[in-house]
Amino acid sequence: MSLQLKINTDLKEAMKAKQEPLLSTLRLLKADIQYELTKNGAQELSDEQVIALIKRGYVKRTDAIQMYEKANRNDLADKEKGEAEVLKSYLPPDVPEDQIIAAVEKFVIELGASGPKDIGKVMGKVMAEFKGANIDGSKVSAIVKSKLS
């Protein structure tokens, strides 16, 4: 079953069970999927495309959580946390940090990277290596910078 179909099925079940936080989050996600479908003129999105949409939504929620907490709006931060948890449940597991470090070291040697000017080359190779996996770009960036400094 594709991820898009799983989301549709879970949305229907959440409607029947009246699970409010899950229902509102899945409705927003379905709207994002529909927008991509109409933009591309496609019938269905690949799992990689759906994962990219989910990641984008997850990042938006985590950014909003930080802003709401700074503004002392814990009620809104809690709502965003709930939505972020729902989105995270649809993402594949995070890539372990030791695998990221190993890939960074491999590409530093392979590319002959020696300093900060090579950060972009190494980042591009590492992100391509883990395409489709759940990897945090800021974590990769920090590891690459520490290796090349």
Annotated domain spans of the chain: 3-90, 97-148
60-77 confidence digits (pLDDT tens) = 999 999 999 999 999 999
Interatomic CA distance for residues 48 and 3, integer angstroms? 9
Are 120 and 77 within 8 A, CB to CB?
A: no
Q: Give the class (CATH, top level) of 3-90.
A: mainly alpha
* N residues, the chain: 149
94-143 confidence digits (pLDDT tens) = 888 888 888 888 888 888 878 888 888 888 888 888 877 778 888 888 89
Interatomic CA distance for residues 88 and 72, integer angstroms? 24
pTM across the whole model = 0.76
Interatomic CA distance for residues 60 and 48, integer angstroms? 18
For the chain, give the mean pLDDT: 89
In this prediction, residues 89-93 reach a mean pLDDT of: 89
Measured CA to CA in angstroms, residue 46 lies from 51, 53, 62, 105 at distances of 9, 11, 25, 31
Q: Give the pLDDT of residue 28.
A: 93
Does domain 97-148 fall under CATH 1.10.10.10? My reply is no
